């Protein structure tokens, strides 16, 4: 019996080791691109900015689109459709506090998606929206 690893087994071990080291980093993500990477890995695909823009600006069978409160493009302050309160720009290049707190991001995705779609957004939809937002530059 031999305990030598074949080259492919060795590689797989190496990859697993790296993934385990990276997990805590992903959990501590604090920026828009980190959160984008988290949603992309949960969705198993890259975010698609064009799809994100279409998703954000469309109505989904209800009264509001994401854009109803956040504006299009969301690079300027938006306005809440029912309370009239100002909402800081959603695109992170225009508002540095955006997407720095994953718990806050998740809370608002849940709430807003329920308002707009009547259900939660899935990881792919969040990745698409974030891919679009991250690409909006001054
Ligand atoms: C009825 C008004 C309204 C609609 C419609 C709406 N939002 Fe929001 N959104 C808000 C408010 C209010 C906040 C929280 C205040 C803030 O962060 O400025 C917020 C915050 C967020 C955040 C938190 C960002 C961060 O800083 O982490 C995300 C993400 C978000 N919205 C995405 C969406 C998406 C996607 C849609 C469409 C599915 C949507 N919103 C539709 C009002 C709205």
CB 64 near ligand 1, within 6 Å: yes
Express each pLDDT in 44-70 by its tens digit.
Answer: 999 999 999 999 999 999 999 999 999
Residue with CA nearest ligand 1 atom 22? 108
Residue 17 makes CB contacts below 8 A (sequence gap 6+) with: none
Predicted local confidence at residue 30, as pLDDT? 75
CB 102 near ligand 1, within 6 Å: no
Burial of 109 from C-beta contacts in 10 A (0-12 / 13-18 / 19+): middle
Give the up-direction half-sphere exposure of residue 105: CA atoms within 13 A in the CB hemisphere.
24
Do 78 and 70 contact (CB within 8 A), yes or no?
Answer: yes
Q: Which of 69, 126, 134 to mutate to test the pocket of ligand 1 (most atoms within 8 A of CB)?
A: 69
Q: Which of 70, 85, 98, 118 to mutate to test the pocket of ligand 1 (most atoms within 8 A of CB)?
A: 70
For the CA of 105, the closest atom of ligand 1 is 27
CB 113 near ligand 1, within 6 Å: yes
Interatomic CA distance for residues 25 and 123, integer angstroms: 19
Express each pLDDT in 58-103 by its tens digit.
Answer: 999 999 999 999 999 999 999 999 999 999 999 999 999 999 999 9
Buried b (16+ CB within 10 A) or exposed e, 64-97: ebbbbbbbebbbeebeeeeeeeeeebbbbebbee
- The residue ranking higher by pLDDT, 14 or 101, is 101
Interatomic CA distance for residues 124 and 10, integer angstroms: 32
Interatomic CA distance for residues 76 and 60, integer angstroms: 23
């Amino acid at each position: 019996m031999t305990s030598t690893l074949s080259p492919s087994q060795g590689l797989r071990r190496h990859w697993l080791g790296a993934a385990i080291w990276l997990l805590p980093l992903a959990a501590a993500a604090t920026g828009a691109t980190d959160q984008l990477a988290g949603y992309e890995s949960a969705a198993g695909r890259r975010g698609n900015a064009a799809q994100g823009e279409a998703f954000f600006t469309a109505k989904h069978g209800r009264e509001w689109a994401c854009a109803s409160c956040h504006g299009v493009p969301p690079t300027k302050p938006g306005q809440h459709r029912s309370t009239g309160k100002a909402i800081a720009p959603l695109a992170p290049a225009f508002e540095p506090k955006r997407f720095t707190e994953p718990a806050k991001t998740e809370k608002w995705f849940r709430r807003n998606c329920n308002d707009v779609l009547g259900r939660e957004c899935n990881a792919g939809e969040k990745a698409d929206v974030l891919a679009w937002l991250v690409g909006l530059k001054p």
